[in-house]
């Protein structure tokens, strides 16, 4: 199990975000080369299952760090899409993408990166997703 589909479900299902980035350009994993921009890639950075003394519980709590990376053709577009991503991922809980999510909490914002040819602006933000596995 992974929380990546949870984040993709929330982003691809957000009507406001998908006016700027169609759901077909919200990818699990790497964003393919030559895709129209803006586009979003979602990956796992790390995950920590909560260990217990008995290790016999029917479900374990897992905290996973998910990275959402936005790729855009202009810096203003990068800023705008990052803002839409943040608004589309509220601090929430519930059954999302068949996973019992306990919380989604924003975390670190990555650095601004730029690829000169072709010019692509890149920024990521991490989210901590806690769920029962």
pLDDT score recorded for residue 57:
65
In tens, the pLDDT along 33-90 reads 889 999 999 999 988 777 665 566 667 888 999 999 999 999 999 999 999 999 999 8
CA distances from 55 to 32, 59, 70, 129 (A): 40, 10, 38, 21
pLDDT score recorded for residue 48:
76
Q: 103 φ, ψ to 5°?
A: -170, 150
User: How sure is the predictor about 120, in pLDDT bands with cuts at 50, 70 and 90?
Assistant: very high
pLDDT score recorded for residue 27:
98
All structural domains of the chain with their residue ranges: 4-132
pLDDT score recorded for residue 55:
62
**pLDDT (average), residues 3-12:** 96
pLDDT score recorded for residue 54:
59
So what's the architecture of 4-132 in CATH?
2-Layer Sandwich (3.30)
State the chain's mean pLDDT as an integer. Answer: 92
């Amino acid at each position: 199990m992974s929380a990546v589909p949870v984040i993709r479900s929330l982003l691809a299902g957000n009507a406001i975000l998908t006016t700027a980035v169609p759901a077909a350009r919200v990818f699990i994993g790497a964003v393919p080369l030559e895709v129209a921009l803006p586009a979003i890639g979602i990956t796992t950075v790390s995950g920590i299952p909560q260990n217990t003394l008995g290790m016999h519980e029917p479900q374990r709590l897992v905290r996973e760090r998910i990275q959402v990376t936005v790729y855009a053709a202009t810096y203003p577009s990068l800023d705008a899409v990052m803002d839409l991503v943040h608004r589309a991922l509220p601090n929430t809980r519930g059954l999302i993408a068949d996973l019992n999510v306990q919380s989604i909490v924003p975390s670190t914002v990555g650095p601004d990166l730029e690829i000169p040819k072709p010019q692509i602006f890149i920024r990521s933000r991490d989210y901590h997703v806690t769920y029962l596995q």
